[in-house]
Amino acid sequence: MSAPEPRAARHLLSVADLDAAAVRRILDTAVEMQEVQRRQVKKIPTLRGRTVINLFFEDSTRTRSSFEIAGKWMSADTINITGKGSSTSKGESLRDTALTIAAMGVDAIVMRHGASGAAHQVARWLDELGTGTSVVNAGDGTHEHPTQALLDAYTVERRLGSLDGRHVAIVGDVTHSRVFRSNLLSLAMLGAQVTVVAPPTLMPSGASAWAERDGFTLSHDLDAVLAGEVAGGVPDVLMMLRVQRERMSGGYFPTPREYTIGYGLTRDRLAAFTAASPHGVICHPGPMNRGLEIAADAADAASSLVLDQVSAGVAVRMSVLYHLLASEEGASA
């Protein structure tokens, strides 16, 4: 039997790989995919005969499980590999690990890695060899997490309708957040106005020039933002980010209590937000540090979309895999 012909692979490494039309296609397809979740038998033959590897070098509950469920519900053969369970724990390089997996004839690698740019590098190696294996970035360091941004947009639109003209406040540890970076791109494509709120120590270097270039607003005062005292008025969406203590070496804020006082979505701030924006919604990519960046009352409020985001994660990732592996136009077309 002759070796298969090399084929061009489609990847989703960054929201920047997409244009507004491609984002809209993914979100529209996700609506259809979410119908599968409501069925008694959750199975469609869309990716029958395809093999998807979830290669995770960092811990994950939501992302890895939702990609696994997404693949299985579309009848793909889905296999999970963790860094601790792979030969990288014996000293094998990331390149050799990726090429070894691709050499087995898999169709897609969904990868999470602690190094920014890791998914891009793996895609480059695979493309150089013409393996035809697609790479999906499931989070790389502090760089990007494109499918999280897509599911965030999908979740908000299902509750509020179009994001065009909506005001979204992204609050918290933006320095270490790959979710923040992907959301900036997707929200801009969908016409939202964005305000980024963080203490000075957790605001990325060069943020002012970045904001001026890309058209978002910066603030260090969460209460002023909630009161509508910044451009865009009272937010329609509060997107709270996790304080990523595992990426911090200390010195970003004096104590957890002081962070909560200044930037946490406390019970009092929840009441103020609800009064000022009765239709407003709360998002959090998870996992949540309850009592630090978000109070339990806020996490469990009627306006909270946290569990809706989890549910949407499966539908959106089904859509992404479909457009990469089954659709003729592809996710980035």
Each residue's pLDDT, cut to its tens digit, for the chain (333 residues) gives 344 455 568 999 999 999 999 999 999 999 999 999 999 999 999 999 999 999 999 989 999 999 999 999 999 999 999 977 677 766 789 999 999 999 999 999 999 999 999 999 999 999 999 999 999 999 999 999 999 999 999 999 999 999 999 999 999 999 999 999 999 999 999 999 999 999 999 999 899 999 999 999 999 999 999 999 999 999 999 999 999 866 555 667 878 899 999 999 999 999 999 999 999 999 999 999 999 999 999 999 999 999 999 999 999 999 999 999 997 655 443
Here the tokens at position 40 are: 């008694």
CA gap 195, 43 in Å, rounded: 40
Is residue 203 within 8 Å of residue 173, measured between CB atoms?
no
* Cα–Cα distance, 288 to 299 (Å, whole number): 8
Entry pTM: 0.93
Q: How many angstroms separate the CA atoms of 188 and 246, rounded?
A: 29
3-state secondary structure of 177: coil
Give the contacts of 274 (CB within 8 A, at least 6 positions apart). 280, 301, 303
**For residue 333, what pLDDT is reported?**
37
- Show binding-site residues: 62-63, 90, 112, 145, 148, 178, 242, 286-287
Annotated binding site for L-aspartate: 90, 178, 242
Q: Which parts are annotated binding residues for carbamoyl phosphate?
A: 62-63, 112, 145, 148, 286-287
Pair of tokens at residue 44: 């469609």
Residue of 193, 185, 216 lying closest to 203 (CA atoms) = 216
- CB neighbour list of residue 98: distance below 8 Å, 6 or more residues apart: 55, 109, 111, 122, 125, 126
Beta bridge partners, 196, equal: 170, 218
Contacts of 327 (CB under 8 A, 6+ apart): none
Q: By C-alpha distance, which of 313, 182, 179, 296 is closest to 247?
A: 179
- Residue 202 DSSP class: G
Contact 222, 263 (CB under 8 A): yes
Q: What does the H/E/C string look like for 63-76?
A: HHHHHHHHHHHCCC
Q: How far apart, in whole angstroms, are the C-alpha atoms of residue 184 and residue 166?
A: 13
The kind and range of the H/E element at 30 are helix 20-37
Residue 55: per-residue pLDDT: 97
In the block, tokens 């509750």 appear at 159
Alpha-carbon distance of 68 to 62, in angstroms, equals 10
- Of 79, 75, 78, 99, residue with least CA distance to 88: 99
Choose among 227, 248, 235: nearest CA to 193: 235
The three-state secondary structure class of 15 is: helix
Domains of the chain: 15-144+313-323 (3.40.50.1370), 146-310 (3.40.50.1370)
CA distance 220 to 26: 34
Single-letter amino acid code for the residue at 76: A
What's the one-letter identity of residue 106? V
**For residue 256, is the peptide bond before it cis, meaning its omega torsion is within 30 degrees of 0?**
no
22-36: burial string, b at 16+ Cβ within 10 Å, e else: bbebbbebbeebbeb
The rounded distance, in Å, linking the Cα atoms of 136 and 13 is 6
Question: What integer pLDDT is reported at residue 84 of this predicted model?
Answer: 73
**Cβ atoms of 112 and 57 closer than 8 Å:** yes
